[in-house]
């Protein structure tokens, strides 16, 4: 067996709310050679440590007392990109938490250890995880570390290939990462081949679900659904299969999607899935269920780390649809005290309040709230969710044109983002305008495609100034649209290529590439445009990451 990683010199973080357990485990860690180990009593302290220092390993108890559990903590740090992929995460759990940890889907720990355990076993598990992390480090290096560093997926894929070609004990892990990378890059046929290759050797849940996701990505919804359902018969606790099936069903049959999420919640509780349940229940007009779901999210998370404006907005809507106006307004007030002040918060509160007053038959109060929401919306660049809430309030308040104008901007800005477009469609549906919404959003999507095509045609016909002007205007207005930003960068670079170096155009192209990368690092055109930039930009030009 190859020499294993030594824990001496590694930096560790131990998270446990019980002082005596912290102390006992700290001694155990020291006994197996981990000399440098910080401790945290709760999620807040752990988060602060992670913000300040890079750790090689984290040992976290599942049960963190009141507030969040270890699984929620792991979800939080992964979602907020403060936990590098190279950091080992070991969850320690009693038997009661074991199933929740062992069945975690998207945010699974690297390993878990059932209490009680000896120092020797703890050391063995940690060194195994660190061994694996070291072997997969070349892949992690290019997968990026967070929101500002989305990595270079092509290089990560090449690193996967190298590990697979070398064989050895981590080849299967590399296949798993390769499948995920290919799916994220939209290369579903190649991902499908990876999963089929794995499944020819062995049945394993991630490859079964991966293959179904590849089918889904190639438009074979029926086959994908059947495969997810078969996966759940064989692996009834594999949460990733529930999540994927629920997302698939949510497009066409939200009642069935809600049922799948309910089943997943019986396997393991989760803030994210409970929130999803509430959202589906609202769409299905199952307001009692929505109320209980959002209430659970809001009440369970006393730390405030995991809550979102959506939870309070969802709770308020569940109340008001049941005629509970006082409770609904109370939820809006609670939203205000649960989060720091921001334009998003102010707009969201006002927009939800407007909808409550409309429903309760208070037109004057509704108008005042809507005016307030629109004032914030016009003065700040709101995120898509908040903007769509304001649009929904506009529909409720009888200002359909304002609603459509807001939705149009959001849809243009996110025309490649299915989740945002689905949410926009649900705003139309809530206003009783489902068919109009479908036509409206499809027209917006086509308009964006046309804009891109027209600009590309201009560029190809040599009218580069016109192409640059058209795309730059759009890219400056639609900062969340990666495709527009990349085409704007491409037009600028073509201009430079044809007419000679122009520092201002180079700088502008650089800014658009970074803008696109920040929105979608896996965009299929990003690598091509980045490569063109590196070829065209003279020495001394701003560098691209990677």
Partner 1 sequence: MDTPIDPLAPLDPLVAAVIHDAKNALLALDTQLADIERRTARFLDDECRTARSVDPECRPARADFSAARATATRIAGQLTELLTCFRAQQGRLRLAIDDHDLSDFIDDLLAELGPPPAGIAFAVDRAAVDRLGAWAFDAYLVKLALLDTLRNAFRHARTGVRLGVDTPPEGGVRFSVADDGPGFPEAVLIGAVVQSGGEGTGLGLVFARLIAERHATPAGRHGRVELANHGGATLRLTLP
Chain-centroid distance, C-alpha 515: 18
Give the count of residues interacting with partner 1 (CB under 8 A). Answer: 39
Site string for partner 1, 408-427 (x = CB under 8 A): --------------------
Q: Which is nearer to partner 1, 136 or 482 (CB)?
A: 136
CA distance 271 to 63: 15
Q: Which is nearer to partner 1, 93 or 520 (CB)?
A: 93
3-state secondary structure of 15: strand
| 20 part of the interface to partner 1, by CB under 8 A | no
Task: Figure out which of the listed residues 47, 107, 140, 235 binds partner 1, where binding follows CB under 8 A.
Answer: 235
Among 133-141, 202-210, 312-320, 526-534, the segment contacting partner 1 (CB under 8 A): 202-210
Secondary structure (DSSP) of 216-275? HHTT-HHHHHHHHHHHHHH-TT-HHHHHHHHHHHHHH-HHHHHHHHHHHHHH---HHHHH
Stretch that binds partner 1, among 73-81, 95-103, 352-360, 424-432 (CB under 8 A): 95-103
Minimum CB separation from partner 1 for residue 278, in Å?
24
Interface with partner 1 (CB under 8 A), residue from 25, 208, 216, 410: 208
CA–CA distance, 79 with 86 (Å, rounded to integer): 15
Residue 31 sits in the site that holds partner 1 (CB under 8 A)? yes
CA distance 266 to 501: 61
Q: How far from 28 is each of 20, 55, 124, CA to CA, in Å?
A: 12, 18, 12
Q: Which is nearer to partner 1, 162 or 449 (CB)?
A: 162
Q: Does 5 bind partner 1 (CB under 8 A)?
A: no
Out of 22, 44, 128, 447, the residue judged to bind partner 1 by CB under 8 A: 128
- CB-CB contact of 481 with 474 (8 Å): yes
Query: Is the CB of residue 467 less than 8 Å from the CB of residue 473?
Result: no
Distance CA(545)–CA(536), nearest Å, equals 16
Among 59, 156, 267, 494, binds partner 1 (CB under 8 A): 267
Site string for partner 1, 101-120 (x = CB under 8 A): -xx----------xxxxxxx
User: Minimal distance in Å, beta carbon 24 to partner 1?
Assistant: 9
Mask for 147-186, x = binds partner 1 (CB under 8 A): ----------------------x-xxx-------------
Shortest Å, Cβ 37 to partner 1: 18
- Smallest gap from Cβ 20 to partner 1, in A, equals 13
Q: Please count the residues of the chain.
A: 546
- The closest of 262, 300, 302 to 278, measured between CA atoms, is 262
Q: Whole-angstrom Cα distance, residue 237 to residue 231?
A: 10
Farthest-apart Cα atoms in the chain, separation:
76
User: Should residue 528 be labelled a site residue for partner 1 when binding is judged by CB under 8 A?
Assistant: no
Classified as helix, coil or strand, 59 is strand
What is the side-by-side strand order in the sheet with 88-93?
Answer: 36-40, 11-15, 57-61, 88-93, 111-114
78, 98, 325, 466: residue in contact with partner 1 (rule CB under 8 A) = 98
Q: What angle do CA 57, 60, 64 make, to 5 degrees?
A: 155
* Binding test (CB under 8 A) with partner 1, winner from 234, 457, 501, 543: 234
Pick between residue 132 and residue 367 the one whose CB is nearest to partner 1.
132
- List residues near partner 1 by CB under 8 A: 1, 28, 31, 94-95, 98-99, 102-103, 114-121, 124, 128, 169, 171-173, 202-206, 208, 227, 230-231, 233-238, 267
């Amino acid at each position: 067996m190859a020499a294993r990683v030594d824990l001496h010199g590694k930096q560790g973080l131990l998270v446990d709310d019980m002082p005596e357990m912290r102390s006992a485990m700290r001694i155990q860690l020291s006994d197996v050679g981990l000399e440098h180990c910080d401790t945290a009593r709760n999620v807040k302290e752990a988060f602060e440590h992670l913000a300040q220092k890079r750790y090689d390993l984290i040992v976290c108890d599942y049960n963190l007392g009141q507030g969040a559990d270890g699984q929620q903590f792991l979800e939080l740090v992964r979602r907020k990109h403060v936990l590098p992929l190279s950091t080992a995460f070991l969850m320690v759990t009693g038997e009661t938490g074991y199933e929740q940890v062992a069945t975690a889907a998207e945010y699974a720990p690297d390993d878990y250890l059932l209490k009680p355990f000896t120092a020797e076993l703890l050391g063995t598990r940690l060194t195994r995880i660190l061994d694996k992390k070291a072997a997969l480090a070349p892949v992690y290096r290019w997968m990026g570390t967070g929101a500002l560093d989305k990595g270079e997926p092509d290089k990560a894929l090449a690193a996967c290939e190298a590990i697979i070609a070398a064989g050895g004990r981590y080849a299967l892990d590399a296949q798993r990462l390769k499948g995920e990378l290919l799916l994220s890059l939209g290369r579903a046929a190649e991902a499908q081949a990876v999963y089929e290759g794995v499944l020819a050797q062995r049945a394993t849940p991630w490859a079964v679900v991966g293959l179904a996701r590849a089918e889904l990505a190639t438009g074979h919804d029926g086959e994908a659904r059947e495969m997810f359902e078969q996966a759940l018969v064989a692996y009834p606790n594999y949460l990733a299969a529930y999540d994927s099936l629920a997302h698939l069903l949510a497009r066409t049959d939200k009642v069935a999607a809600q049922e799948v999420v309910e089943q997943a919640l019986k396997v393991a509780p989760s803030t994210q899935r409970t929130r999803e349940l509430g959202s589906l229940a609202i769409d299905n007009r199952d307001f009692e269920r929505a109320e209980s779901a959002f209430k659970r999210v809001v009440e369970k998370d006393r730390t405030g780390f995991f809550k979102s404006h959506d939870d309070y907005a969802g709770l308020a809507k569940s109340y008001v649809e049941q005629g509970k106006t006082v409770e609904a307004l109370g939820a809006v007030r609670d939203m205000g005290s649960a989060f720091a002040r921001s334009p998003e918060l102010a707009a969201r509160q006002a927009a939800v309040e407007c909808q409550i007053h409309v429903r309760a038959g208070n037109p004057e109060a509704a108008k005042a709230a809507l005016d307030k929401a629109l004032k914030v919306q016009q003065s700040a660049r709101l995120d898509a969710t908040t903007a769509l809430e304001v649009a929904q309030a506009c529909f409720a308040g009888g200002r359909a044109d304002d609603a459509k104008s807001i939705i149009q901007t959001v849809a243009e800005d996110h025309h490649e983002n299915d989740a945002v477009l689905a949410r926009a469609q649900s705003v139309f549906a809530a206003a009783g305008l489902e068919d109009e919404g479908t036509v409206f959003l499809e027209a917006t999507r086509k308009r964006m495609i046309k804009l891109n095509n027209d600009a590309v045609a201009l560029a190809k016909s040599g009218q580069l100034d016109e192409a640059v002007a058209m795309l730059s205007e759009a890219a400056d207005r639609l900062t969340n649209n990666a495709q527009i930003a990349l085409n704007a960068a491409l037009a600028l670079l073509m201009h430079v290529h044809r007419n000679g170096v122009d520092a201002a155009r180079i700088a502008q192209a650089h800014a658009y590439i970074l803008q696109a990368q920040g929105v979608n690092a896996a965009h299929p055109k990003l690598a091509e445009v980045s490569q063109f930039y590196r070829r065209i930009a003279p020495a001394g030009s701003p560098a691209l990451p990677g």
